[in-house]
Structure 1
């Protein structure tokens, strides 16, 4: 199946890609990653309206949905731009539907509201704290957050509290992929803090959104590494000819292309399914996460092999995308975890 984008979606993708090419070239990205301070990029990103794409207009957004967010994630992955705060914020945004004024303020000011859950597993896999507070490990974008949306479990019911970043304690954790960040968040006593009671299913929806966006990011990194590998194979020579002329290299490139194009349709379909509330949306999101992220890892390994020794150097950009693809496979739950969800949800059929 080949997924076809609408004219508006194609226009958005090309416009955002052009913006990233102008304002997030490789040398600028390396500067942000080396300094550990992506605030300049985040500010421009918010000021020029990209942060509001994919969020409802009633909450201060510019419209669009998860397909548009997946397109944005794909492009951000394709240039290794700092995106921890954005990824965490767009996952948390629908949870603020009960507080539209707060959501609108966050979108307008670029003040990232981050979901305080462990990003090392699906977002609905536990993680709620008690009213007395607690510690949440590996919160994506925690160091960039202005507010935290904290799931609270009390008397068997789920509620959400919005806590200012100034009221929590952060313990940063280092990642090999410097384009994202995580931190341990120590949540204070919330016994006197207002909280909005919500249905348990809201975290399952957030988990599906997060899975789709991680898959979309992997799609972007895979496509970029494919392009880099093919371009390099045309330049590098052995025995007096470009290595692109070797049958083994052609086969490797073809396999990478198949992986990328297969992932593209899967990611877009899953994004539309989750956005429209399809009855099998959770399965589609699980399939996108469990298939696209490992495929991107395979593309990363093949791209590294095609580059040879230069691909292992710090000066070459390949390691930025290689590390990003590797993190995506763990982000919001491993491929094994999502495959287990698929196996559990799908009916068993008798052998013929």
Structure 2
């Protein structure tokens, strides 16, 4: 099945792609990555009005839904734009439904609030934070963009359940320890809480809210993977048409054609899966959890495999720091593990499918 975008959605993707083509050129991106200063892109992204796309208008957003967010994630991935803080914020936004003012502040100020969960696991109720004498204590490892946020939405163990608390980063009792990533377009930090103060976020069903955040994460990371994979395909096709062996472009060799064709198949299949999953989760379809899991498991794994193919077809130059392929290769590899590996999401698919008795022939 090939997913068809509406005319408005297609126009949105084109306009964003053009904006990123001017704002996030290869040279500019390398400057941000080399300096470690990613706020320049974030500020421009917010200032030019892109941050609120896909968010409710009554909260100050630009309207649209998860399909529009997936389109944005796809284009951001295609440019390997430093938008980890945007992703962390988009995961946090739905958890703030009980505190509309905090949600409005997030959309008004840009990257202010991110979801305080480990970036290497599926978001869920497991938490390393508890309450001691009325204050928060514990540790959360590898929180996406924690070092760029003003506030964190933190799952906190209380009694026999879990509650959500909004924690200001700039207060005594909060320590952020940055970690270096191979993919320099995103950042993570360990969060240590020792006597921090949090504000309760009214939430009727915390497990359901965090599960919704997990599905949202699956869709947006798979969309990022799709964009990265598309870029690697384009880069590879261009390169094999230029590089020559035995006096002819290597793109004329049958083995190279087959490898590039396999990358194209992965891209086209991934596009339909990602858009379907986004629409399914947005509408609350009964199979939304399966659709989102399939998107994360299949598309992020396909992008990681495509990265290896692209590297092989580029030959030795693909390994060099000077070639842009290394930027996209690292992004694809991180996407595969971000908020749960393909294996973990495949397990969720297996858990969600009904077991049928074997039929006898």
Map 1:218-297 onto structure 2 (within 5 A). 218-297=225-304
> How far has the Cα of 1:107 moved from its partner?
1.0
* Whole-angstrom distance in 1 between the partners of 2:334 and 2:198: 37
What corresponds to 2:10 in structure 1?
Answer: 10
Query: Do the aligned partners of residues 159 and 222 (structure 1) sit closer, same or farther apart at CA in structure 2, a change above 3 Å counting?
Result: same
Task: Say which SS state the counterpart of residue 163 (structure 1) adopts.
Answer: strand
How large is the Cα RMSD of the aligned pairs? 1.3
Q: Residue 162 of structure 2 corresponds to which residue in structure 1?
A: 158
Please state if 1:72 is matched with 2:78. Answer: no
The equivalent residue for 1:32 is 32
Counterparts of 1:171-190 in structure 2, within 5 Å, are 171-189=177-195
Asked whether the equivalents of residues 86 and 111 of structure 2 are also in contact (C-alpha less than 8 Å), the reply is no
Looking at structure 2, the residues matched to 250 and 302 of structure 1 have their Cα atoms a distance apart, in angstroms, of 12
TM-score (norm 2): 0.95
Secondary structure of the residue aligned to 1:329 is: helix
Instruction: Sort the Cα spacing of 1:195 and 1:131 in 2 relative to 1 into closer, same or farther, 3 A.
Output: farther
CA distance in 1, matches of 2:242, 2:108: 46
Deviation at 1:222, TM superposition (A): 0.4
Unaligned runs of 5+ in 2: none
Note closer, same or farther for the CA distance 1:117–1:309 as it changes in structure 2 (3 Å cut): same
Compared CA separation, residues 50 and 36, structure 1 to 2 (3 A): same
Deviations 1:184-203 (A, max 9, x none): 00124357744424312000
1:70-110 per-residue CA deviation (whole Å, 9 max, x = no partner) reads 11111111111101100100011111111112211221121
Q: Tell me whether 1:323 sits opposite 2:323 in the alignment.
A: no
Q: In the comparison of the two structures, how many residue pairs are matched?
A: 352
CA distance in 1, matches of 2:198, 2:303: 46
Change in CA separation of 1:5 and 1:192 when aligned onto 2, cut-off 3 Å: closer
**1:160 touches 1:198 (CA, 8 Å); kept in 2?**
no
Whether the 8 Å contact between 1:230 and 1:244 is mirrored in structure 2 is yes
Counterpart-to-counterpart distance in 2, 1:17 and 1:294: 24
Q: Residue 299 in 1 paired to residue 306 in 2? A: yes
Q: Contact 1:159 / 1:198 at 8 angstroms: preserved in 2? A: no
SS at match of 1:189: strand
Distance 1:139 1:12 in 2: 30
Deviates more, 1:311-320 or 1:181-190: 181-190
Deviation of 1:116 after TM superposition, in Å, equals: 0.7
Q: Does 1:350 align with 2:354?
A: no
Q: Following the alignment from structure 2 to structure 1, what is the Cα–Cα distance between the partners of residues 319 and 357?
A: 48
2:346 matched residue in structure 1:
339
Using the TM superposition, give the Cα deviation of residue 160 of structure 1 relative to its aligned residue in structure 2, in angstroms. Answer: 1.4
Q: Distance in 1 between matches of 2:201 and 2:17?
A: 39
Q: What displacement does 1:154 show?
A: 1.1
Q: TM-score, normalised by structure 1?
A: 0.97
Counterpart contact for 2:215–2:281, Cα < 8 Å: yes
Gaps of 5+ in 1: none
Q: Please give the alpha-carbon distance, in whole angstroms, between the structure 2 residues aligned to 1:281 and 1:308.
A: 40
Equivalence for 2:59: 59
After superposition, the Cα gap between the structure-2 partners of 1:52 and 1:191, relative to the gap in structure 1 and judged at 3 Å, is: closer
**Do the aligned partners of 1:128 and 1:150 also contact (CA within 8 Å) in 2?**
no
Contact preservation (8 Å) 1:157, 1:197: no
User: Structure 1 CA distance, aligned partners of 2:199 and 2:56?
Assistant: 27
- Work out whether residues 218 and 296 of structure 2, in 8 Å CA contact, stay in contact via their aligned partners in 1: yes
Contact 1:131–1:191, Cα closer than 8 Å, also in 2: no
